[in-house]
Amino acid sequence: MNVPTVHPVPDVPAVPVVLQAKNLVKRYGHVTALDGMDFELRADEVLAVIGDNGAGKSTLIKALAIVPDAGEIRLDGRLVRFGSPIEARLAGVECCYQDLAVAPAMTVAENLFLGRELRRAGFLGRCLRMLDRQKMIDVAGARMADLQVGIHSMTQTVETLSGGQRQCVAVARAAAFARHVVILDEPTAALGVKEGNMVLELIRRVRDKGLPVVLISHNMPHVFEIADRIHVARLGRRAAVLNPKKLSMSDAVAVMTGATAPENIPAEWQA
């Protein structure tokens, strides 16, 4: 499926690049959502992706997981082309979509294993296709404890959880199964302050476990709290990659809206 071409990545940074995209183009009818977007995610970082509506944030993420019209994507240096979110998942890239991620009437364990259920060994599993509930509950419990998500009962339904906990289940599901990259689309959008912080904490722990995270967010305080670098999307291109420690939120907004033109961005802001 993937052609492993070994091209040396030009001017290799100190930290290896996990996910890289070059010159991505994605059109929807007459609308060009991505117009030559570049993208680079390093290992061990939380990379925030910000941008106005229509700047290409969501399309960028979709294009990473769904075939773009042009451009190339490399995962760990290998050229990849994912035909569907499932293929991306099999390659170790897990996405967590805003508000859409969980089945409320199903249990935490069932949600964690949705679409990749474990079957029993032997006749019961192979011939009767019977699920191994206990194993799924055990594994789910272990993964959740590992990520220190404060949910202890894997058999309670997700609808009995608070909004923040629900989102933690969704994020934990992505993190628990990702081998390379976790992509989170607006994970804190619908949450209050305390609940949002709960999810941010979880994202930090995911990164500290060594999984790079792409965080798409509108929420500037959250972005500045957690991101190591900020990818600014504008008009379907990458306007800049910023260092949140070197500039203010209003500076970032200025780049995002185009008030500060890309050529006027001070060198020390860039990351």
- Can you say how many angstroms the Cα of residue 14 is from the centroid of all Cα atoms in its chain? 22
Restricting to residues 125-144, name those near other proteins by CB under 8 A.
128-131
Residue 11's region, left for phi above 0, alpha for psi from -120 to 50, else beta, is: left
Binding of other proteins at residue 100 (CB under 8 A)? yes
Binding of other proteins at residue 166 (CB under 8 A)? no
User: CB-wise, 58 or 260, nearer to other proteins?
Assistant: 58
Q: At closest approach, how far in Å is the CB of 89 from other proteins?
A: 7
User: CB-wise, 69 or 159, nearer to other proteins?
Assistant: 159
User: CB-wise, 114 or 259, nearer to other proteins?
Assistant: 114
Q: At closest approach, how far in Å is the CB of 119 from other proteins?
A: 7
Q: At closest approach, how far in Å is the CB of 268 from other proteins?
A: 40
Q: Using CB under 8 A, which of 15, 114, 121, 145 touches other proteins?
A: 114
Q: How many CA atoms lie within 13 A of 164 on its CB side?
A: 16
Q: Using CB under 8 A, which of 22, 27, 119, 135 touches other proteins?
A: 119
Q: Cα–Cα–Cα angle for 258, 65, 42, nearest 5°?
A: 65
Which DSSP state fits 118? P
Strand partners, 27: 32
User: CB-wise, 102 or 226, nearer to other proteins?
Assistant: 102
Structure tokens at 130: 């019977």
User: CB-wise, 95 or 271, nearer to other proteins?
Assistant: 95
Paired sense of beta strands 78-80 and 70-75, if any? antiparallel
Binding of other proteins at residue 103 (CB under 8 A)? yes
CB 152 within 8 A of CB 216: no
In the block, residue with structure tokens 């979880």: 202
**Distance of alpha carbon 54 from alpha carbon 236, whole angstroms:** 8
3 state DSSP class of 176? helix
**Distance of alpha carbon 118 from alpha carbon 121, whole angstroms:** 9
User: CB-wise, 17 or 109, nearer to other proteins?
Assistant: 109
CB 154 within 8 A of CB 107: yes
Binding of other proteins at residue 85 (CB under 8 A)? yes
Strand partners, 37: 24
Rg value, the chain, Cα:
19
Q: At closest approach, how far in Å is the CB of 130 from other proteins?
A: 5
Size of the site for other proteins (CB under 8 A): 25
Stretch that binds other proteins, among 37-45, 106-114, 190-198, 247-255 (CB under 8 A): 106-114
Each residue 196-235 as x (binds other proteins by CB under 8 A) or -, in order, gives ----------------------------------------
Binding of other proteins at residue 25 (CB under 8 A)? no
Structure tokens at 264: 């006027």
**Site for other proteins, rule CB under 8 A:** 84-86, 89, 95, 97, 100-106, 110, 114-117, 119, 128-131, 159-160
